[in-house]
A = this chain, B = another copy of it.
Amino acid sequence: MDPDAVAKAFVEHYYRTFDANRAGLAGLYQDGSMLTFEGQKLQGPQAIVGKLTSLPFDQCLHSISTVDCQPSGPQGGMLVFVSGSLALAGEHHPLKFSQMFHLMPTPQGSFYVLNDIFRLNYA
């Protein structure tokens, strides 16, 4: 399994789900999962998806510029680092962002998100 291909597939799935139905991201997180969103810390699927679904916009579209990945250690985890832009309905200028995910393997051969850190890149 090519790690770069896995990372790219995860990133495409994540943002496609975010843009279509943020609540559908809950299955990617577990109880120990953490999200730091613009400095705010949240833990667990309910708190994380609660934050994402309460963001003050309805429609959005992520565009990915770069995806980098590295293995994170002997436990089979993977670090995924993303840069891109986020277009909001009614806004002329997309917002640049950077986000990192720490993916950990599940017994089913898939991955869940253990760590998630998101920041807008203000110009």
Chain A positions near chain B (C-beta within 8 angstroms): 34, 36, 39, 41, 65-66, 68, 70-73, 75, 77, 79, 81, 83, 96, 98, 100, 102, 104, 114-115, 117, 119, 121-123
Contact = CB atoms under 8 A, between A and B. Distances in A.
B81 A119 contact: yes
Contact of A81 (B77, B104, B117, B122): B117
Which of A65, A102, A114 has the most chain B CB atoms closer than 10 A to its own CB?
Answer: A102
Contact of A119 (B68, B114, B119, B122): B68
B119 A83 contact: yes
Contacts of A122: 65
A99 B51 CA distance: 24
